[in-house]
Amino acid sequence: MRPEPLPVRRTAAPSRAPAPSGPSLVELVPILLQEARRYQVVLASIFAVIALIALVAGLFLLPRKYSVSTSVLAQESDIIEPLLEGRAVSTEAVDRAGLARQVVFGRKVMDEILQRGGWMEDKPSPAMQERLIEQIRERTRITNARENLVQITYHDSEPERAFRVTQAMAELLIEESLAAKERESTSAYEFIDRQVRGYHGKLTDAEENLQTYRSANVDAQPGSATDATTRISALRTQVEQTRMSLMEQRSRESALVAQLSGESSVTAVQTRESLYRTQLIELQNQLDTLLLSYTDKHPDVVRVRHQMDDIETAMRQEEQRRSQPGQQNAPTDARANPLYQELRSRLAEVRREIAATQSRMAASQTLLDGELERSRRIAASENELAELTRDYEVNRESYQDMLRRRESARVSMQLDRERRGLTMRVQDPAQMPLRPSGLSFTHFALGGLAAAAAVPFGLLFLFARFDPRIRSPRQIERLGGQALLTVVPAYRTSRDRRRELMRMALSASILCVVILAYALVYGFRKMHG
């Protein structure tokens, strides 16, 4: 029964009444209680509908998410690395999580995950496989727990499948990482080995070219330019010295010719005995000179001795002739000038020396011209020889460097094959999840109850706050500007009280149904895990 309007005593009405306004916050509390009593069935129904909808949604529509985590530890060998420092090349990996994502999210690993997760039992199409792979990637999180510790977290609606997929990801990550490192080191070794063979061929060709050029060009030998320069310097010095000697000898020749022109070949008339003695003295001097260079059996020495013997015989004959009467003071032939003869002898000797010096200078000049020509040939071949030598040295250095690198790559490859360089193991294995993670049914149910309680009270507050009707005596005094003398309360009949009791009983029943439904669902979930 809707209450009648409250009777009030009016005074003189103002000409213009102010526009009605809603009740204040102090006046709103009793109004809310009054309206709650009037619409308790409606409010209880709204509460029940929202609570039951939340219960059904949490029971059937709330997705269960089971999360499984595992961690993989990657370590470099602490024992082998110091022993092989500078020999083996270790693969540095700063971003372990990034490398793990590349490996796990690769197509090869994802195909294996689809097999182990049971998705391939339904034989999905390639497009469906791509969507499944995208969903798996979205539900997978790979992070760096520490510097060398990679954590893999995967969540799924089925706990057993979440466990199998997470376990498979860790195993495949270890297997593929070690296999990729082994393939990388093997590929590096094969590449360097091909480079070594290529540089060996280049080095052999460069050595053959250099040897062929040196065989074809005798002067193209190491140190030939230095030898030629030294030889040219020595020959030039020899030519200069010979030229100076020749100038000196020609000067002596000119002096002897001038002296010889001023002497007479005959000096005076002498006896024959004196002439023989002079010849004997000359022959003796000539013999002494010959004995300085030759032995007694030399033809010139023997000839001079025979001449001396002949002159001595002639002298004895002359003495015998002079011993005869009337022959003592007889003059003989004229005597030759000894200075003239000596000058002629010295002139002849100087001219012989000049001839010998000219011959030596011509020979030295010929040798010098030959060395100069050889030097020009060496200079012409130096550029090509330097280029061939440079190619040989560059190829030799590159070949030796590649040999060292191949040995280092071979050791690294052997370490990776034996899996001693990089060690990867499961640090924290995956565990079968017993409870779902994230938002649980209890949280969802409590949230539904909170929403079911908040929505009716929110609607009731909005209805009471913005209702334009006058609902309190203070509102009349505030609007009319006059004091209100008294308030006549509404009279409630027995019928009104029965209706109110029925509404309260119905509202309580509705609330009990909601509470019972929540209790039954909660007990059922507890019994069945």
Domain carrying residue 157:
66-195+423-428
> What does the pLDDT read at residue 327?
52
Examine the domain organization and report whether 57 and 120 are in the same domain. no
Residues 298 and 319 in one domain: yes
DSSP 19: P
pLDDT tens digits for range 204-259: 888 887 777 777 666 656 666 677 788 888 888 888 888 888 888 888 888 878 87
332 within 8 A of 270, measured Cβ to Cβ = yes
Q: Does 76 lie in the same domain as 162?
A: yes
State pTM to two decimals: 0.43
- Calpha distance 396→390 (Å, rounded): 10
Phi-psi region of 223 (alpha: psi -120 to 50; beta: other; left: phi over 0): left
Please name the amino acid found at residue 410.
Answer: R
Supply the pLDDT for residue 22: 57
On whether both 93 and 170 belong to a single domain, the answer is: yes
Residues 523 and 451 reside in one and the same domain: yes
Burial class of 440 by CB neighbour count within 10 A (0 to 12, 13 to 18, 19+) = middle
Q: How is the chain split among helix, strand and coil, in percent rounded to 5?
A: 70, 10, 25
> What pLDDT shows up at residue 9?
40
Asked if residue 50 is part of any domain, the answer here is: yes
Total Cβ atoms within 10 A of residue 189: 21
pLDDT at 5: 43
**End-of-domain residue from the set 362, 396, 428:** 428
The angle at the Cα of 298, spanning 294 to 303, to the nearest 5 degrees, equals 120
CA gyration radius, the chain: 68
Residue 176 and residue 146 share a domain: yes
Regions of the chain with pLDDT less than 50: 1-20, 78-94, 269, 329-333
Which strand (E) or helix (H) includes residue 225? helix 224-261
CB 475 within 8 A of CB 8: no
pLDDT for the residue numbered 62: 58
CA nearest neighbour of 241 among 63, 328, 364: 364
- Does residue 83 fall inside a structural domain? yes
Pair 38, 113 in one domain: no
Q: Backbone phi, then psi, for 89, in 5-degree steps?
A: -100, 120
Residue range 374-408, pLDDT digits in tens: 777 777 666 777 777 788 888 888 888 888 888 88
Domain endpoint, select from 283, 298, 331: 331
pLDDT at 211: 79
- 103: nearest Cα among 176, 179, 186: 176
Indicate if the alpha-carbon torsion angle 328, 332, 338, 339 is positive or negative: positive
Which one-letter DSSP state was computed for residue 9?
A: -
Q: What total of structural domains would you count in the chain?
A: 3
30 plus 141 within the same structural domain: no
Q: Which of 400, 428, 456 is the last residue of a domain?
A: 428
510 alpha-carbon distance from chain centroid: 76
pLDDT confidence of residue 19: 44
- Residue 149 bridge partners (DSSP): 73, 146
55 and 90 together in one domain = no
Whether 189 and 78 map to the same domain: the answer is: yes
Q: Looking at residue 74, which CATH number applies to its domain?
A: 3.30.1890
